[in-house]
Amino acid sequence: MTVFISILDEVGGALLFLQKILRSLFYKKIKTHEVFEQIWKVTAESFFTTAMAGFFVGAIMTVQFALQMKEFGALGYLGGLATSGTFREVGPLLIAFMLSGKVGAFTSAELGTMRVTEQIDAVRCLGADPMQEIIAPRFLGIIISSFFLLGGGLIMSVFGGMLMGYAFAGVNFEEYLRHVPMIVSPVSILSGVIKCGAFALVLATICTFKGFTTAGGAKGVGRAVVATSVSTMICIVVVDWMTSFLGEVILQMVRGYRS
Amino acid sequence: MITLIAETMTGVFSPPFRRKEFFQQLYFVANKSLIIILFCVSFAAIVTILESSFHMKLVIQNDSMVPGFAALLILRELGAILTALLLTSRVGAGYASEVGSMQITEQVDAFKMLGIDPVNYLVVPRFLACVLGCMMLTIIANMTCIFSAIIVSQQYLGYTPSMFLASMDRFVQFQDLVFAAIKGACFGGVIPIVACYFGFRCQQGAEGVGRATTNTVVVASIAIIVIDFILSYTFSYLY
Protein backbone atom coordinates (compact mmCIF):
# COMPACT_ATOMS: atom_id res chain seq x y z
CA MET A 1 0.00 0.00 0.00
CA THR A 2 2.77 2.41 0.93
CA VAL A 3 4.36 1.65 -2.43
CA PHE A 4 1.26 2.85 -4.25
CA ILE A 5 1.06 5.97 -2.14
CA SER A 6 4.70 6.79 -2.78
CA ILE A 7 4.23 6.21 -6.53
CA LEU A 8 1.20 8.51 -6.53
CA ASP A 9 3.22 11.04 -4.57
CA GLU A 10 5.98 11.00 -7.17
CA VAL A 11 3.56 11.28 -10.10
CA GLY A 12 1.70 14.14 -8.49
CA GLY A 13 4.93 15.93 -7.70
CA ALA A 14 6.11 15.56 -11.28
CA LEU A 15 2.82 16.90 -12.65
CA LEU A 16 2.91 19.93 -10.35
CA PHE A 17 6.50 20.52 -11.43
CA LEU A 18 5.44 20.35 -15.08
CA GLN A 19 2.76 22.91 -14.37
CA LYS A 20 5.37 25.23 -12.84
CA ILE A 21 7.64 24.83 -15.86
CA LEU A 22 4.81 25.58 -18.26
CA ARG A 23 3.79 28.61 -16.27
CA SER A 24 7.33 29.98 -16.37
CA LEU A 25 7.43 29.25 -20.12
CA PHE A 26 4.25 31.14 -20.90
CA TYR A 27 4.21 34.00 -18.44
CA LYS A 28 7.88 34.89 -18.31
CA LYS A 29 10.41 35.88 -20.90
CA ILE A 30 12.20 32.86 -22.31
CA LYS A 31 15.97 33.04 -22.23
CA THR A 32 16.50 32.46 -25.93
CA HIS A 33 20.26 32.42 -25.68
CA GLU A 34 20.22 29.71 -23.00
CA VAL A 35 17.73 27.63 -24.96
CA PHE A 36 19.91 27.68 -28.07
CA GLU A 37 22.93 26.73 -26.02
CA GLN A 38 21.07 23.76 -24.55
CA ILE A 39 19.80 22.66 -27.97
CA TRP A 40 23.32 22.78 -29.34
CA LYS A 41 24.75 20.92 -26.37
CA VAL A 42 22.19 18.12 -26.37
CA THR A 43 22.24 17.66 -30.14
CA ALA A 44 26.00 17.70 -30.48
CA GLU A 45 26.51 15.35 -27.58
CA SER A 46 23.99 12.71 -28.56
CA PHE A 47 23.97 12.90 -32.33
CA PHE A 48 26.60 10.24 -32.89
CA THR A 49 24.98 7.87 -30.38
CA THR A 50 21.48 8.13 -31.80
CA ALA A 51 22.66 7.98 -35.40
CA MET A 52 24.60 4.81 -34.70
CA ALA A 53 21.67 3.25 -32.84
CA GLY A 54 19.40 4.21 -35.76
CA PHE A 55 21.72 2.62 -38.28
CA PHE A 56 21.77 -0.71 -36.49
CA VAL A 57 18.06 -0.65 -35.75
CA GLY A 58 17.31 -0.21 -39.44
CA ALA A 59 19.63 -3.10 -40.24
CA ILE A 60 18.04 -5.38 -37.62
CA MET A 61 14.50 -4.57 -38.78
CA THR A 62 15.47 -5.34 -42.35
CA VAL A 63 16.99 -8.70 -41.48
CA GLN A 64 13.89 -9.68 -39.50
CA PHE A 65 11.40 -8.54 -42.13
CA ALA A 66 13.46 -10.20 -44.86
CA LEU A 67 13.20 -13.54 -43.07
CA GLN A 68 9.42 -13.20 -42.90
CA MET A 69 8.88 -11.82 -46.39
CA LYS A 70 10.97 -14.55 -47.98
CA GLU A 71 8.31 -17.09 -47.03
CA PHE A 72 5.74 -15.19 -49.05
CA GLY A 73 8.05 -14.26 -51.91
CA ALA A 74 7.18 -10.63 -51.29
CA LEU A 75 10.68 -9.24 -50.95
CA GLY A 76 9.65 -6.18 -52.96
CA TYR A 77 7.73 -4.89 -49.97
CA LEU A 78 10.78 -5.28 -47.74
CA GLY A 79 11.97 -1.70 -47.92
CA GLY A 80 8.57 -0.18 -47.34
CA LEU A 81 7.73 -2.41 -44.42
CA ALA A 82 11.05 -2.08 -42.65
CA THR A 83 11.07 1.69 -43.10
CA SER A 84 7.49 2.04 -41.96
CA GLY A 85 8.09 -0.14 -38.92
CA THR A 86 11.13 1.90 -37.98
CA PHE A 87 9.45 5.27 -38.55
CA ARG A 88 6.28 4.50 -36.66
CA GLU A 89 7.44 2.44 -33.77
CA VAL A 90 10.97 1.28 -33.18
CA GLY A 91 12.83 4.44 -34.16
CA PRO A 92 11.18 6.88 -31.74
CA LEU A 93 11.21 4.28 -28.96
CA LEU A 94 14.90 3.45 -29.27
CA ILE A 95 15.96 7.04 -29.70
CA ALA A 96 14.01 7.91 -26.59
CA PHE A 97 15.78 5.11 -24.71
CA MET A 98 19.17 6.35 -25.87
CA LEU A 99 18.25 9.91 -24.92
CA SER A 100 17.09 8.86 -21.48
CA GLY A 101 20.37 7.05 -20.90
CA LYS A 102 22.49 9.95 -22.01
CA VAL A 103 20.69 13.28 -21.74
CA GLY A 104 18.28 12.31 -18.97
CA ALA A 105 20.98 10.93 -16.71
CA PHE A 106 23.29 13.83 -17.44
CA THR A 107 20.66 16.50 -16.81
CA SER A 108 19.48 15.01 -13.55
CA ALA A 109 23.08 14.57 -12.37
CA GLU A 110 23.86 18.17 -13.26
CA LEU A 111 20.77 19.60 -11.59
CA GLY A 112 21.23 17.29 -8.61
CA THR A 113 24.80 18.48 -8.12
CA MET A 114 23.60 22.07 -8.39
CA ARG A 115 20.97 21.35 -5.76
CA VAL A 116 23.24 19.61 -3.24
CA THR A 117 25.98 22.24 -3.62
CA GLU A 118 23.25 24.86 -3.06
CA GLN A 119 23.80 26.62 -6.36
CA ILE A 120 20.05 26.62 -7.01
CA ASP A 121 19.46 28.39 -3.71
CA ALA A 122 22.19 30.84 -4.69
CA VAL A 123 20.34 31.66 -7.90
CA ARG A 124 17.22 32.29 -5.89
CA CYS A 125 19.14 34.50 -3.45
CA LEU A 126 20.35 36.64 -6.33
CA GLY A 127 16.71 37.42 -7.09
CA ALA A 128 16.46 35.30 -10.21
CA ASP A 129 13.86 32.60 -10.72
CA PRO A 130 15.55 29.18 -10.96
CA MET A 131 12.62 27.85 -12.98
CA GLN A 132 13.17 30.51 -15.62
CA GLU A 133 16.96 30.55 -15.50
CA ILE A 134 17.84 26.87 -15.17
CA ILE A 135 14.91 24.54 -15.67
CA ALA A 136 12.96 26.05 -18.57
CA PRO A 137 15.92 26.28 -21.01
CA ARG A 138 16.86 22.66 -20.34
CA PHE A 139 13.28 21.54 -20.71
CA LEU A 140 12.82 23.29 -24.04
CA GLY A 141 16.29 22.28 -25.21
CA ILE A 142 15.66 18.57 -24.68
CA ILE A 143 12.29 18.66 -26.44
CA ILE A 144 13.45 20.63 -29.48
CA SER A 145 16.70 18.75 -29.97
CA SER A 146 14.92 15.40 -29.70
CA PHE A 147 13.30 16.15 -33.05
CA PHE A 148 16.68 16.80 -34.68
CA LEU A 149 18.02 13.59 -33.21
CA LEU A 150 14.95 11.69 -34.38
CA GLY A 151 15.48 12.97 -37.92
CA GLY A 152 19.14 12.00 -37.93
CA GLY A 153 18.43 8.58 -36.48
CA LEU A 154 15.67 7.83 -38.99
CA ILE A 155 17.78 8.85 -41.97
CA MET A 156 20.57 6.62 -40.72
CA SER A 157 18.09 3.79 -40.19
CA VAL A 158 17.04 4.00 -43.85
CA PHE A 159 20.71 3.79 -44.83
CA GLY A 160 21.25 0.80 -42.56
CA GLY A 161 18.20 -0.91 -43.95
CA MET A 162 19.27 -0.29 -47.54
CA LEU A 163 22.75 -1.67 -46.97
CA MET A 164 21.44 -4.70 -45.12
CA GLY A 165 18.71 -5.34 -47.68
CA TYR A 166 21.39 -5.42 -50.35
CA ALA A 167 23.85 -7.54 -48.40
CA PHE A 168 21.41 -9.97 -46.88
CA ALA A 169 18.38 -10.28 -49.15
CA GLY A 170 19.84 -9.12 -52.44
CA VAL A 171 17.35 -6.26 -52.78
CA ASN A 172 19.07 -3.43 -54.58
CA PHE A 173 18.67 0.18 -53.49
CA GLU A 174 16.11 1.23 -56.07
CA GLU A 175 13.89 -1.72 -55.34
CA TYR A 176 14.24 -1.09 -51.63
CA LEU A 177 13.15 2.52 -51.94
CA ARG A 178 10.38 1.97 -54.50
CA HIS A 179 7.67 0.95 -52.05
CA VAL A 180 8.71 3.37 -49.35
CA PRO A 181 6.52 6.31 -50.49
CA MET A 182 3.61 3.93 -50.96
CA ILE A 183 3.67 2.41 -47.47
CA VAL A 184 5.16 5.22 -45.42
CA SER A 185 2.31 7.70 -45.46
CA PRO A 186 2.53 11.21 -44.01
CA VAL A 187 0.37 9.89 -41.18
CA SER A 188 3.09 7.37 -40.29
CA ILE A 189 5.76 10.03 -40.16
CA LEU A 190 3.48 12.32 -38.21
CA SER A 191 2.72 9.61 -35.68
CA GLY A 192 6.43 8.95 -35.26
CA VAL A 193 7.08 12.64 -34.69
CA ILE A 194 4.19 12.96 -32.24
CA LYS A 195 5.44 9.93 -30.35
CA CYS A 196 8.93 11.35 -30.20
CA GLY A 197 7.58 14.64 -28.89
CA ALA A 198 5.57 12.87 -26.21
CA PHE A 199 8.60 10.84 -25.14
CA ALA A 200 10.76 13.94 -25.00
CA LEU A 201 8.14 15.75 -22.91
CA VAL A 202 8.05 12.89 -20.42
CA LEU A 203 11.83 12.58 -20.37
CA ALA A 204 12.40 16.29 -19.87
CA THR A 205 9.83 16.50 -17.08
CA ILE A 206 11.15 13.52 -15.17
CA CYS A 207 14.83 14.33 -15.38
CA THR A 208 14.43 17.97 -14.38
CA PHE A 209 12.04 17.00 -11.59
CA LYS A 210 14.34 14.32 -10.19
CA GLY A 211 17.36 16.57 -10.44
CA PHE A 212 15.58 19.55 -8.89
CA THR A 213 14.32 17.56 -5.92
CA THR A 214 17.57 15.76 -5.14
CA ALA A 215 18.43 15.52 -1.47
CA GLY A 216 21.12 13.84 0.56
CA GLY A 217 24.52 14.75 -0.78
CA ALA A 218 26.59 12.87 -3.33
CA LYS A 219 24.77 9.59 -2.71
CA GLY A 220 21.49 11.35 -3.35
CA VAL A 221 22.74 12.43 -6.76
CA GLY A 222 23.57 8.83 -7.66
CA ARG A 223 20.17 7.71 -6.46
CA ALA A 224 18.46 10.45 -8.47
CA VAL A 225 20.29 9.37 -11.64
CA VAL A 226 19.29 5.73 -11.30
CA ALA A 227 15.71 6.67 -10.39
CA THR A 228 15.56 8.93 -13.45
CA SER A 229 16.63 6.28 -15.90
CA VAL A 230 14.34 3.61 -14.47
CA SER A 231 11.24 5.78 -14.23
CA THR A 232 11.76 7.35 -17.67
CA MET A 233 12.00 3.90 -19.24
CA ILE A 234 8.76 2.80 -17.60
CA CYS A 235 6.95 6.02 -18.48
CA ILE A 236 8.22 5.90 -22.07
CA VAL A 237 6.87 2.40 -22.59
CA VAL A 238 3.52 3.34 -21.06
CA VAL A 239 3.31 6.54 -23.13
CA ASP A 240 4.18 4.51 -26.22
CA TRP A 241 1.28 2.21 -25.53
CA MET A 242 -1.07 5.13 -24.88
CA THR A 243 -0.14 6.98 -28.07
CA SER A 244 -0.45 3.84 -30.20
CA PHE A 245 -3.75 2.98 -28.67
CA LEU A 246 -5.21 6.49 -28.85
CA GLY A 247 -3.94 6.82 -32.43
CA GLU A 248 -5.75 3.65 -33.38
CA VAL A 249 -8.97 4.84 -31.74
CA ILE A 250 -8.78 8.27 -33.40
CA LEU A 251 -8.08 6.72 -36.81
CA GLN A 252 -11.08 4.49 -36.46
CA MET A 253 -13.25 7.42 -35.45
CA VAL A 254 -12.06 9.38 -38.50
CA ARG A 255 -12.76 6.44 -40.78
CA GLY A 256 -16.21 5.97 -39.29
CA TYR A 257 -16.89 9.65 -39.79
CA ARG A 258 -15.88 9.51 -43.45
CA SER A 259 -17.93 6.47 -44.43
CA MET B 1 38.45 -3.35 -21.60
CA ILE B 2 39.81 -6.44 -23.34
CA THR B 3 42.09 -7.06 -20.35
CA LEU B 4 39.08 -6.87 -18.07
CA ILE B 5 37.16 -9.36 -20.23
CA ALA B 6 40.14 -11.75 -20.23
CA GLU B 7 40.62 -11.43 -16.48
CA THR B 8 36.92 -12.06 -15.90
CA MET B 9 36.95 -15.12 -18.09
CA THR B 10 39.92 -16.62 -16.27
CA GLY B 11 38.35 -15.57 -12.97
CA VAL B 12 35.23 -17.59 -13.77
CA PHE B 13 37.25 -20.80 -13.71
CA SER B 14 39.84 -20.02 -11.07
CA PRO B 15 39.43 -21.19 -7.46
CA PRO B 16 38.02 -18.74 -4.94
CA PHE B 17 34.41 -19.18 -5.95
CA ARG B 18 32.26 -16.65 -4.17
CA ARG B 19 29.00 -18.51 -3.96
CA LYS B 20 27.31 -16.28 -1.40
CA GLU B 21 28.13 -13.12 -3.33
CA PHE B 22 26.84 -14.75 -6.50
CA PHE B 23 23.47 -15.58 -4.98
CA GLN B 24 23.14 -12.09 -3.55
CA GLN B 25 23.81 -10.57 -6.95
CA LEU B 26 21.45 -12.99 -8.65
CA TYR B 27 18.73 -11.92 -6.23
CA PHE B 28 19.46 -8.28 -7.02
CA VAL B 29 19.53 -8.78 -10.79
CA ALA B 30 16.71 -11.21 -11.31
CA ASN B 31 14.25 -10.85 -8.52
CA LYS B 32 14.32 -7.11 -7.92
CA SER B 33 14.02 -6.26 -11.62
CA LEU B 34 11.38 -8.82 -12.44
CA ILE B 35 8.26 -6.71 -11.92
CA ILE B 36 9.51 -3.64 -13.79
CA ILE B 37 10.64 -5.73 -16.73
CA LEU B 38 7.43 -7.73 -16.97
CA PHE B 39 5.37 -4.55 -16.77
CA CYS B 40 7.29 -2.78 -19.55
CA VAL B 41 7.59 -5.79 -21.78
CA SER B 42 3.91 -6.61 -21.72
CA PHE B 43 3.02 -3.04 -22.72
CA ALA B 44 5.54 -3.28 -25.53
CA ALA B 45 3.96 -6.54 -26.70
CA ILE B 46 0.56 -4.86 -26.86
CA VAL B 47 1.99 -2.09 -29.02
CA THR B 48 3.74 -4.58 -31.28
CA ILE B 49 0.63 -6.53 -32.00
CA LEU B 50 -1.45 -3.43 -32.75
CA GLU B 51 1.25 -2.09 -35.05
CA SER B 52 1.82 -5.30 -36.92
CA SER B 53 -1.90 -5.66 -37.49
CA PHE B 54 -1.85 -2.16 -39.00
CA HIS B 55 1.02 -3.07 -41.34
CA MET B 56 -0.45 -6.34 -42.47
CA LYS B 57 -3.75 -4.66 -43.31
CA LEU B 58 -1.79 -2.12 -45.31
CA VAL B 59 0.14 -4.63 -47.40
CA ILE B 60 -1.92 -7.76 -47.87
CA GLN B 61 -5.34 -6.44 -46.85
CA ASN B 62 -5.98 -8.98 -44.13
CA ASP B 63 -4.39 -9.63 -40.81
CA SER B 64 -4.70 -13.37 -40.47
CA MET B 65 -0.92 -13.74 -40.20
CA VAL B 66 -0.61 -11.25 -37.37
CA PRO B 67 -0.43 -13.66 -34.41
CA GLY B 68 2.34 -15.69 -35.98
CA PHE B 69 4.36 -12.68 -37.04
CA ALA B 70 3.93 -10.92 -33.76
CA ALA B 71 5.00 -14.00 -31.84
CA LEU B 72 8.00 -14.34 -34.12
CA LEU B 73 8.98 -10.71 -33.67
CA ILE B 74 8.55 -10.94 -29.90
CA LEU B 75 10.60 -14.10 -29.56
CA ARG B 76 13.37 -13.14 -31.93
CA GLU B 77 13.90 -9.48 -31.15
CA LEU B 78 11.68 -7.66 -28.78
CA GLY B 79 11.79 -9.76 -25.62
CA ALA B 80 15.54 -10.11 -25.45
CA ILE B 81 16.53 -6.59 -26.44
CA LEU B 82 13.97 -4.78 -24.32
CA THR B 83 14.86 -6.85 -21.28
CA ALA B 84 18.53 -6.12 -21.81
CA LEU B 85 18.02 -2.38 -22.27
CA LEU B 86 15.92 -2.15 -19.13
CA LEU B 87 18.50 -4.16 -17.18
CA THR B 88 21.21 -1.82 -18.44
CA SER B 89 19.55 1.22 -17.02
CA ARG B 90 18.72 -0.48 -13.76
CA VAL B 91 21.47 -2.94 -12.96
CA GLY B 92 24.26 -1.43 -15.07
CA ALA B 93 23.81 2.04 -13.62
CA GLY B 94 23.67 0.55 -10.13
CA TYR B 95 26.88 -1.40 -10.63
CA ALA B 96 28.73 1.53 -12.15
CA SER B 97 27.89 3.84 -9.29
CA GLU B 98 28.63 1.13 -6.72
CA VAL B 99 32.03 0.18 -8.13
CA GLY B 100 32.78 3.82 -8.88
CA SER B 101 32.14 4.84 -5.28
CA MET B 102 34.34 1.96 -4.13
CA GLN B 103 37.08 3.16 -6.44
CA ILE B 104 37.02 6.79 -5.31
CA THR B 105 36.84 5.88 -1.62
CA GLU B 106 39.87 3.64 -2.24
CA GLN B 107 38.13 0.45 -1.21
CA VAL B 108 39.38 -1.22 -4.37
CA ASP B 109 42.95 -0.40 -3.37
CA ALA B 110 42.20 -1.82 0.07
CA PHE B 111 41.21 -5.12 -1.56
CA LYS B 112 44.51 -5.19 -3.39
CA MET B 113 46.37 -4.53 -0.15
CA LEU B 114 44.61 -7.46 1.49
CA GLY B 115 45.69 -9.72 -1.34
CA ILE B 116 42.18 -10.11 -2.78
CA ASP B 117 41.90 -9.76 -6.52
CA PRO B 118 39.22 -7.07 -7.10
CA VAL B 119 38.24 -8.60 -10.43
CA ASN B 120 37.65 -11.95 -8.80
CA TYR B 121 35.79 -10.43 -5.88
CA LEU B 122 33.73 -7.77 -7.66
CA VAL B 123 33.39 -8.57 -11.33
CA VAL B 124 33.13 -12.34 -11.54
CA PRO B 125 30.08 -12.89 -9.28
CA ARG B 126 28.30 -9.98 -10.97
CA PHE B 127 29.17 -11.32 -14.39
CA LEU B 128 27.85 -14.81 -13.66
CA ALA B 129 24.76 -13.46 -11.93
CA CYS B 130 23.97 -11.16 -14.85
CA VAL B 131 24.45 -13.86 -17.46
CA LEU B 132 22.19 -16.29 -15.65
CA GLY B 133 19.71 -13.67 -14.49
CA CYS B 134 19.35 -12.05 -17.89
CA MET B 135 18.85 -15.43 -19.53
CA MET B 136 16.06 -16.35 -17.14
CA LEU B 137 14.50 -12.90 -17.34
CA THR B 138 14.51 -13.08 -21.13
CA ILE B 139 12.65 -16.36 -21.13
CA ILE B 140 10.11 -15.16 -18.56
CA ALA B 141 9.68 -11.88 -20.45
CA ASN B 142 9.05 -13.73 -23.69
CA MET B 143 6.40 -15.86 -22.05
CA THR B 144 4.71 -12.80 -20.55
CA CYS B 145 4.86 -11.02 -23.88
CA ILE B 146 3.12 -13.84 -25.66
CA PHE B 147 0.56 -14.10 -22.92
CA SER B 148 -0.31 -10.40 -23.11
CA ALA B 149 -0.30 -10.57 -26.92
CA ILE B 150 -2.85 -13.37 -26.71
CA ILE B 151 -5.09 -11.29 -24.47
CA VAL B 152 -4.86 -8.18 -26.66
CA SER B 153 -5.47 -10.05 -29.89
CA GLN B 154 -8.54 -11.60 -28.34
CA GLN B 155 -9.83 -8.23 -27.19
CA TYR B 156 -9.10 -6.04 -30.18
CA LEU B 157 -8.49 -8.23 -33.21
CA GLY B 158 -10.90 -11.02 -32.45
CA TYR B 159 -8.61 -14.03 -32.40
CA THR B 160 -9.36 -16.69 -29.83
CA PRO B 161 -6.35 -17.99 -27.88
CA SER B 162 -6.48 -21.28 -29.73
CA MET B 163 -6.34 -19.50 -33.10
CA PHE B 164 -3.39 -17.51 -31.84
CA LEU B 165 -1.55 -20.59 -30.68
CA ALA B 166 -2.26 -22.46 -33.91
CA SER B 167 -0.97 -19.55 -35.97
CA MET B 168 2.03 -19.26 -33.69
CA ASP B 169 2.73 -22.94 -34.09
CA ARG B 170 3.15 -22.47 -37.82
CA PHE B 171 5.87 -19.87 -37.52
CA VAL B 172 7.66 -20.34 -34.24
CA GLN B 173 9.93 -23.23 -33.45
CA PHE B 174 11.51 -24.23 -30.21
CA GLN B 175 14.90 -23.06 -31.41
CA ASP B 176 13.62 -19.47 -31.39
CA LEU B 177 13.32 -19.66 -27.63
CA VAL B 178 16.79 -21.17 -27.36
CA PHE B 179 18.24 -18.40 -29.52
CA ALA B 180 16.43 -15.81 -27.41
CA ALA B 181 18.00 -17.32 -24.30
CA ILE B 182 21.46 -17.22 -25.92
CA LYS B 183 20.90 -13.58 -26.83
CA GLY B 184 19.83 -12.85 -23.27
CA ALA B 185 22.98 -14.46 -21.90
CA CYS B 186 25.23 -12.47 -24.24
CA PHE B 187 23.51 -9.19 -23.38
CA GLY B 188 23.71 -10.05 -19.70
CA GLY B 189 27.44 -10.56 -19.98
CA VAL B 190 27.96 -7.15 -21.57
CA ILE B 191 26.33 -5.15 -18.77
CA PRO B 192 28.56 -5.89 -15.75
CA ILE B 193 31.77 -5.79 -17.78
CA VAL B 194 31.03 -2.34 -19.18
CA ALA B 195 29.79 -1.13 -15.80
CA CYS B 196 32.83 -2.40 -13.90
CA TYR B 197 35.21 -1.08 -16.55
CA PHE B 198 33.86 2.45 -16.18
CA GLY B 199 33.59 1.97 -12.42
CA PHE B 200 37.27 1.05 -12.07
CA ARG B 201 38.32 3.98 -14.20
CA CYS B 202 36.15 6.39 -12.23
CA GLN B 203 37.64 9.83 -11.65
CA GLN B 204 37.79 11.44 -8.26
CA GLY B 205 34.69 13.16 -6.94
CA ALA B 206 30.93 12.86 -7.19
CA GLU B 207 30.97 14.14 -10.74
CA GLY B 208 33.16 11.22 -11.79
CA VAL B 209 30.63 8.72 -10.50
CA GLY B 210 27.85 10.44 -12.43
CA ARG B 211 29.92 10.40 -15.59
CA ALA B 212 30.80 6.73 -15.11
CA THR B 213 27.10 5.91 -14.76
CA THR B 214 26.12 7.85 -17.87
CA ASN B 215 28.94 6.32 -19.92
CA THR B 216 27.97 2.85 -18.77
CA VAL B 217 24.36 3.20 -19.85
CA VAL B 218 25.26 4.62 -23.25
CA VAL B 219 28.11 2.25 -24.10
CA ALA B 220 26.25 -0.81 -22.86
CA SER B 221 23.10 0.12 -24.83
CA ILE B 222 25.05 0.58 -28.04
CA ALA B 223 27.02 -2.61 -27.44
CA ILE B 224 23.75 -4.47 -26.91
CA ILE B 225 22.27 -3.18 -30.16
CA VAL B 226 25.42 -4.04 -32.10
CA ILE B 227 25.63 -7.52 -30.57
CA ASP B 228 21.95 -8.02 -31.30
CA PHE B 229 22.59 -7.19 -34.92
CA ILE B 230 25.52 -9.59 -35.14
CA LEU B 231 23.59 -12.39 -33.45
CA SER B 232 20.48 -11.86 -35.60
CA TYR B 233 22.62 -11.99 -38.67
CA THR B 234 24.35 -15.16 -37.52
CA PHE B 235 21.16 -16.91 -36.47
CA SER B 236 19.45 -16.03 -39.73
CA TYR B 237 21.65 -18.63 -41.40
CA LEU B 238 20.54 -21.29 -38.94
CA TYR B 239 16.78 -21.20 -39.49
Chain centroid to Cα A154, Å, comes to: 13
Is residue A22 one of the residues assigned to a domain? Answer: no
Domain-located, residue A25: no
Q: Answer whether residue A105 is part of any domain.
A: yes
Nearest CA-CA distance, residue B154 and chain A, Å: 15
Cβ–Cβ < 8 Å for B90, B192: no
Q: Give the pLDDT confidence score for residue A258 in this predicted structure.
A: 62
> Maximum Cα–Cα distance for chain B, whole Å?
70
Cα B217 to Cα B3, B60, B85, B207: the distances in Å are 20, 40, 9, 16
Q: Does A167 touch chain B (CB under 8 A)?
A: no
In a mutational test of the A interface, the residue from B55, B56, B216, B236 whose CB has the highest number of chain A CBs within 10 Å is B55
d(CA B39, CA B51): 19
Please report whether residue A18 resides in a domain.
Answer: no
Q: What is the pLDDT of residue B206?
A: 63
Q: Which domain holds residue A156?
A: 31-257
Q: How far is B206 from chain A (nearest CA, A)?
A: 6
pLDDT average, residue stretch A71-98: 78
Does residue A12 belong to any structural domain of this protein? no
Better-scored residue on pLDDT, B193 or A178: B193
Q: Mean pLDDT across the stretch A112-130?
A: 86
Question: Among all residues of chain A, which has the CA nearest to that of B220?
Answer: A101
Q: What's the pLDDT tens digit per position in B16-51?
A: 777 788 888 888 888 878 888 888 888 888 887 877
Chain B residues in contact with A102 (beta carbon < 8 A): 214, 217-218
Instruction: Tell me the pLDDT of chain A averaged across its residues.
Output: 83
Average pLDDT over residues A52-81: 78
Nearest-CB residue to B206 (from A183, A221, A233) = A221
Residue A11 included in any domain:
no
- Where helices occur in B88-123 by DSSP H, the ranges are 93-104, 107-113, 118
Q: How confident is the model at residue A16 (pLDDT cuts 50, 70, 90)?
A: very high
> Is residue A189 within 8 Å of A81, Cβ to Cβ?
no
